[in-house]
Structure 1
Amino acid sequence: MMPFYIRFLIMAAIWAGLFFFIENTARPIYLFSCSLSFAAYFLLAVTERKLILYSLMMLNLPLIAIYLDRSAWPFLLLAALFYLYEAAQSIRPAAFYSLLGGTALLAAFTMIFLRPSVIAVTLAIAALSVGYAACIGLNSARCRLEELRELYDQVLEEYRKAKRVALKNEGAARAEERTRIARDIHDSVGHKLTALGMEMQSMLLKEHNTSIARMKHTVEECLEETRRAVRALKSEAIEGIPAIIQLVRKLESESSLRIRFTTKQGVLSLVLPNIHSIALYRIIQEALTNCLKYSESREVDVILGVSPVGGVSFEIRNVFHSPGPIHESFGLKSIRERVHGAGGTVQIYCDGSQFVIMGSIPVKGDKN
């Protein structure tokens, strides 16, 4: 579809051409008809009753033809074809066909009133025939495109539902597998270590031996490590970088975002304290939500790495054109507060073509 300003210029040129064929005494009527046509044309963008407006614009042509010279028929023909072209791209086939029928009757009435030459009538009929065929094809193609778009939206929604179900089932299966492994460890290794510890305790009661005491202490440490591992396996909470990966997968399945997630060398081995893990998760979540609301593109780059001082660095980029300064919304202010609360630094800026959120959070702890 042509840009609005081009279509507006075409319509203005047609009505400017009609001005030269109007009688001097009928120029107020011309101005009224011209204003009525442009008012109806502008109202097309804000109403659903487009057929009424197109019919009014078409009906306006034979009425103004009463005050025109007979040689003005090419401009009337161009106006009618232009209105049909506009209608073909905005109304349903049934309404469009009724408009075509009404336009044919109005064209016949105008030709009878103006009484152009036989050549002019022949050219007008040929032009209307070609225009009718082109507009019918355009209207059919537009309706087909709308049907395909609706079908695509339905398929996309079903795909997202299926992906959400798959992620949910995958999470349930993973939790069930962790529970099974934890139970097996508890029932086998845990029980055997407990039995071994009890046996060593009975041996120490009979005879105190330093070696046996050290072995018993080692068994108790192993048993505690086993219990800790069992508790970790039974826990469904996901923290750190895996939680962010799960967030990216969730947002991709539930929205139209296409996220390029990049982890640089060393970031996966960082041990994030709980408070820093939560802060990083919320920062990435808020940044992606901000992209979903305001980005001009559905593509987002998320990059995680290791800062020069050993912390975790993050960078979120998306296409955004802003000629003026950035107004920080509540979400961006929340990102700043979370980063500063975790003892980190953040920069939020637009480099002309991309909106960038870049920062780092210090990590206290050793690497795995």
Structure 2
Amino acid sequence: MMLHAMSELTLKHENVQKLINSGEKFDVVIVEQFGNDAQKALSTHFGAPLITLSAIGANYWINPLVGNPSPPSYIPDLMSDYPVPMTFCERLINSLMYVFNELIYNFMVFPKQNQLMKKYIPNAPAHISDVLYNSSIVLLNSHPSINQPVPHVPNMIEIGGFYIKPSKTLPQDLQEFLDNATEGVIYFSMGSNLKSAELPKEKRDAILKTFAKLKQKILWKWEEEDLPGKPPNVKTAKWLPQQDILAHPNVKLFITHGGFLSTTETIYHGVPILAIPIFGDQKMNARSAVTSGYGVYLAFNELNEETLTTSINKILNNKRYKENVQMRSKLFHDQIVSPLDAAIYWIEYVIRHGGAPHLRVAALDLPWYKYLLIDVVAVIASAIITLIFIFDSRYFHIGNLKPIH
């Protein structure tokens, strides 16, 4: 499994092993939650409280580890693109995915991570379960302006967009390109992991033909030196300062893969999106943009000149997309403190209060059958069945009594 291989490569890296054996002391250990649970034992090794960072908000990777409820009745699976509310069939599949994820993690992911923990971390606990459920707090890169509102136990702290910085001055060529775009600019980027240069030729040609028809200028993150057939209204660059570009008032539309960080940034700056998701949580983010009214979802296999043109014009010619994303942006900015300040406060809070064990919910100390009230349901069901049997037997006996002559 790729995540296990990545975890092992990290733990056995020369610099990581040097740190592990350095004898250093820390006030707190922060570990991102992404199939790398063995690394959480670094908190035990260094004798410091554990803080977990979830880069995409509450999800099935982290919810069971802090006892956070996540009802599959209205919280879609991370990898789905189900709308809310879901249909019966969607809720059925969503519930099965919930059970499937629990089985995968408990019988495949955690045992392997336990092996890696024991192999590479000297002062690790006896078993990975001793640290898995011991996060002092979980920092969530989420906010109700971006994500569907969901339950959070007390030690889950939202710091969505904590990494966003005030916009800076753009390089001169980009500044002039954006300033001179009297009809506006469309910004196109498929993120850092996906490369536009690797798009199939038919998809690339459809995009080029569409862009050539538009009166807007196009700023395209293209990873190669040349773009064959590039129209005159298109400017390409191997790397672009995305946040600073989205902050420019002439940017009218962001064509994106729908990654969570890109979604956060576009809401922060109030730019509607055309999402073309490829994998992971991108489909869910795209569906959320449609539900919230600030974006259009175009499936990659349906991308052609006609569908792309229609989708772009749908957003540019309907002001409600801009209005909806600006409303979301206002919600995002309306916070008592900045997300980064909130993160700093809660990290220091954990240090001040010795790991803040008072935030831990009692659900973590219950076996699954008690948490789900299986024992209670079983007793009630047994009592009901017993009563039915007694009354039914009595009725049957009375009904068969013969009259006395």
Give the TM-score band, short-chain normalised: under 0.3
Q: TM-score, normalised by structure 2?
A: 0.19
**If you compute each CA radius of gyration, which structure gives the higher value, 1 or 2?**
1
Structure number with greater CO (CA < 8 Å, separation at least 6) is: 2
TM value normalised by structure 1: 0.20
